[in-house]
Amino acid sequence: MTDTTITADAPTGGADSAASVDETLAALTLEEKASLTSGEDFWTTKSAPGVPSIMLTDGPHGVRKQRANGDHLGITDSVPATCFPPAVALGSSWDVTLLERVGIALGEESLAENVGVLLGPGINIKRSPLGGRNFEYLSEDPIASGVLGSALVRGLQSQGVGASLKHFAANNQEADRMRVSADIDERPLREIYLRGFQRVVEDEQPWTVMCSYNRLNGVYTSENPWLLNTVLRDEWGFTGLVVSDWGAVNDRVAGVEAGLDLEMPSSSGRTDAQLVAAVRSGALAESVLDTAARRAIELAFKAVAGARDDASYDVDAHHALAREAAGASIVLLKNDGDLLPLATDASIAVIGELARAPRYQGAGSSLINPTKLDNALDEIRVLAASDAVTFAAGYAADGVDDGALLAEAVAVASAASVAVVFLGVPAEQESEGFDREHIELPAEQLALLDAVIEANANTVVVLSNGGVVRLSGFADRVSAIVEGWLLGQAGGGAVADVLYGEVNPSGRLQETIPVRLQDTAAFLDFPGEHGHVRYGEGLYVGYRWFDAREIAVSFPFGHGLSYTTFDYSDASVSADADGLVVRLTVTNSGPRDGADIVQVYTSLPGSAVVRAPRELKGFAKVSLAAGESRVVEVPVRRADLAYFDTRVDQWVVEGGTYTVEIGASSRDIRATSTVEVEGDAVRVTLDLNSSIGELMAHPVASQFIMQAMASQGDGFTSALMDDPGMFKMMESFPIGRLAGFPGMGIDREQIEQLIAAANAA
């Protein structure tokens, strides 16, 4: 053991875990069972005879374990832990293997602190760039969120520590988050906002799922039986425990009835007593409470079984992993004239207070107390030649205009061959609990940049931000832009690595950078009013919206540059019962080793339902030496081709000729192919309100209706059968109303018989 190794506290309650869950449950009193379904305090569950208490604590990008003498919310004082890059950065790595390794490291640190469940990952969709918690989420796309979220859960739970997949569901804003109703039509709800959760649950079975604060279509998620039982358990097969977000319980009895198993934090016994009273009065079946208590016992037993009294982790090794992850997450947005990477002997003016006082994580419940903290200025000086780097703060940390700082920055920029300007969103503008008001960088920073550009044409911008910022005001006036997000405790070293080419950037955008906030899909429906927010954009979230509307963007979803180049060739697509397999050869045609993200998008021209022009369905990260070629296979699951058919309340793969696009972004398509996909049979139940068009599309009903119309000799039926315009006009006409039209030759009884025969066939 070295001084950089942190070792576990002794786990508690391990001897009790050998008893069977059913035996333990049967021995408990009603009061004891109720007590197991709420917290003992802020971070631990209650114990009961044979049931140990376990600790749950905040993640998702580090272990935020509160010290014993910390504040009551546990936000300002926690034990040191590795602050890995938040999800805004990790998502941009598109690296499944890397995220699993980060998950493993989080598990190791959780074990060392005797934490049984780490609260994360968060995989909600980035609906609007104003979302205050966007830095905790992975993507604007559900497939990317699900795949990457699965990797984090898989890594964490491989160590015997439970994940808490959050925030379930539709937690896409912070404004009025404790009460607001996210009003979403079922198709976008299923295809955009639930799909990532479904992927993680079905693939990885997280130990817990955390319900969100908000209401969903008018019902609090903590007491929503459709969400917690019908969808999560019955349809997806979730076998774990549902825990509330801290303070999310509106009605404890209704919550338990709906499938909420654990209320956190403690209510000091108040809501436990409500459960006991409800059971004794007959308002709540004891069997329902038993189910929640059983899940709490199962969770406690799993956590204790995973605990190790010799658990430890290497602080230096985890810091190195954090630096690797940060380097892989940086997105090189622009690099005119190959200004980057910098030569080590080039004279560099580093400008901006953020270069020496980094902003590396968001504020709120995910605030980590880092074991170490790099800053970019020091790390740049390590890589650069001696005396090659000068520094000027440029702006004050508190945002107050300072003419002397600006003048100093202009002077050092004028004297250097390259100016590297660090800009970013102040911490007070990005936090859990409130949304951003705009996507602008601070005015004093933009004024600094204008002055530096005038002083030095070779200007590089390095960004630090938890959500996208508007770049359209200067993107065409600087030579290079490095999107640094919030990179965790080792982000300063990672930025230096990328600037000097120690790391070849391979990050790609997981959210579109718009030209203006007004161009974004949710602009007119965010954050809502009077307790409701209408998701009026439907399916058209992120790049789906921009591509469908053909709106210009600053940088598209999936975009990112490298210090080398990649060519795609020999693309092909095949279909089988499992879905699609996309094959292509990727060649590193440039001078440096590097990694590319192959992105696969699909569409179905002529679809019977509304679809985006393209949707991400698969991706693969491939690392290649300079000059190397490799055949890459990207599988696309058949389930991911499905849309949710609201007529039959089920997922349906529509048959037809699919277009498969292989690209380096949603707007950089390198190869296109088509493939025939066999569709699922869909039988829609017909009734008197079914339209003529729906009956004509029905394999049985169409035969009956054609025979009935053909037997009539009047002009109307002939026109309906022979005139496409007439049929188009009448195809939405409800069949039941034809009985009242003279000369149709078909009465209501015949129509009812036709419908019954069609439905029975």
Of 138, 140, 136, give the one whose Cα is nearest residue 126: 140
β-pairing, 56-58 vs 331-335, is: unpaired
Annotation marks residue 593 as catalytic:
no
List helix spans (H) across 672-734: 692-697, 701-710, 715-722, 724-730
> Is residue 300 within 8 Å of residue 49, measured between CB atoms?
no
Could you tell me the CA-to-CA distances from 69 to 6, 77, 79, 246, 369 in Å, in that order? 20, 8, 11, 20, 15
Q: What is the 3-state secondary structure (H, E, C) of 110-140?
A: HHHCCCCEEECCECCCCCCCCCCCHHHCCCC
Q: Which residues of 330-365 are buried (b: 16+ CB within 10 A; e: fewer)?
A: bbbbbbeeebbbbeeebbbbbbbbbbbebbbbbbbb
Count of CA atoms in the C-beta half-sphere (13 A) of 735: 26
Residue 139, number of CB atoms within 10 A of its CB: 28
Taking the C-alpha atoms of residue 631 and residue 612, their distance in angstroms, rounded to an integer, is: 29
Q: What are phi and psi of 168, to 5 degrees?
A: -95, 105
DSSP letter, residue 589: -
Q: What are phi and psi of 625, to 5 degrees?
A: -70, 160
Taking the C-alpha atoms of residue 241 and residue 539, their distance in angstroms, rounded to an integer, is: 30
Cα 748 to chain centroid, rounded: 52
- Choosing from 16, 95, 183, 245, the catalytic residue is 245
DSSP E strand boundaries for 336-383: 348-351
Residues 6+ apart with CB under 8 A from 19: 50
Secondary structure (3-state) at 182:
strand
361: left (phi over 0), alpha (psi -120 to 50) or beta: beta
> Is residue 209 within 8 Å of residue 166, measured between CB atoms?
yes
Q: What are phi and psi of 443, to 5 degrees?
A: -60, -40
Could you tell me the CA-to-CA distances from 450 to 411, 454, 484 in Å, in that order? 14, 6, 20
Count of CA atoms in the C-beta half-sphere (13 A) of 644: 15
**DSSP string over 61-94:** SS-BPBPTTS-TT-SS-B--B--PPPHHHHHHH-
DSSP letter, residue 289: H
Could you tell me the CA-to-CA distances from 438 to 342, 401, 522, 533 in Å, in that order? 33, 20, 13, 18
Q: Catalytic site residues?
A: 245
